[in-house]
Chain A
Amino acid sequence: MSDWRPGAPLSVQRQRATLLAELRQYFHRLGVMEVETPLLCQYGVTDPGLDNFAVVCGDGERWLQTSPEYAMKRLLAAGSGDIFQICKAFRSGELGQRHNPEYTLLEWYRLGVDHYDLLHQVGELVCGLLGRAGWQVWPWRTLVQHVLGSDIERATHRELEQLALAQVGDIPPALDREALLDLLVSHCVEPALAKWGVVFVVDYPLPQAALARRVQGPDGEALGARFECYVDGLELANGYWECGDADELALRFESDNLLREQRGLPCRPVDQRLLAALRSGLPDCSGVALGVDRLLALQSASPDLDGVLAFNWNRS
Chain B
Amino acid sequence: MANFSTNEFKPGLKVMLDGEPCSIMENEYVKPGKGQAFNRVKLRNLRSGRVWERTFKSGDTLEGADVMDVELEYSYTDGEFFYFMDPVSYDQHAAGSEAVGETQKWLKEQEKYEVTLYNGAPITVTPPNFIELEITETDPGLKGDTAQGGSKPATLTTGAVVRVPLFISQGEIIRIDTRTGEYVSRASKS
Interface set of A (CB-CB < 8 Å, partner B) = 47-49, 93-99, 168-172, 175, 178-179, 181-183, 185-187, 190, 208, 210, 228, 235, 238
| B38 lies within 8 A of chain A by Cβ | yes
Q: For B28, list chain A residues within 8 Å (CB).
A: 96-97
- Supplied contacts A170-B54, A175-B57, 11 more A-B pairs, CB within 8 Å: A49-B35, A93-B37, A95-B7, A170-B53, A171-B55, A178-B35, A179-B36, A182-B32, A187-B38, A190-B32, A210-B34
Sort chain B's interface into a size bin: 20 to 34
Establish whether residues A99 and B35, one from each chain, have CB atoms under 8 Å apart when the complex forms. Answer: no
Q: For A208, list chain B residues within 8 Å (CB).
A: 34-35
The residue that A186 contacts in the complex, of B38, B53, B56, B60, with Cβ under 8 A, is B38
Q: For A186, list chain B residues within 8 Å (CB).
A: 30-32, 35, 38
The residue that B36 contacts in the complex, of A169, A170, A183, A190, with Cβ under 8 A, is A183
Establish whether residues A93 and B58, one from each chain, have CB atoms under 8 Å apart when the complex forms. Answer: yes
Interface residues of B in 49-87 (CB under 8 A from A): 53-60
Interface set of B (CB-CB < 8 Å, partner A) = 7, 28-38, 53-60
Establish whether residues A235 and B33, one from each chain, have CB atoms under 8 Å apart when the complex forms. Answer: yes
Q: How far is the CB of A166 from chain B (nearest CB, A)?
A: 14
Establish whether residues B34 and A49, one from each chain, have CB atoms under 8 Å apart when the complex forms. Answer: yes
Q: For B33, list chain A residues within 8 Å (CB).
A: 228, 235, 238
User: Given A93-B59, A95-B7, A169-B53, are A185 and B32 also a contact pair (CB < 8 Å)?
Assistant: yes
Task: Give CA–CA (A179, B55) in the complex, Å.
Answer: 13
Q: How far is the CB of A153 from chain B (nearest CB, A)?
A: 15
Q: For A96, list chain B residues within 8 Å (CB).
A: 28-31
Q: For A171, list chain B residues within 8 Å (CB).
A: 55
Q: For B35, list chain A residues within 8 Å (CB).
A: 49, 178-179, 181-182, 185-186, 208
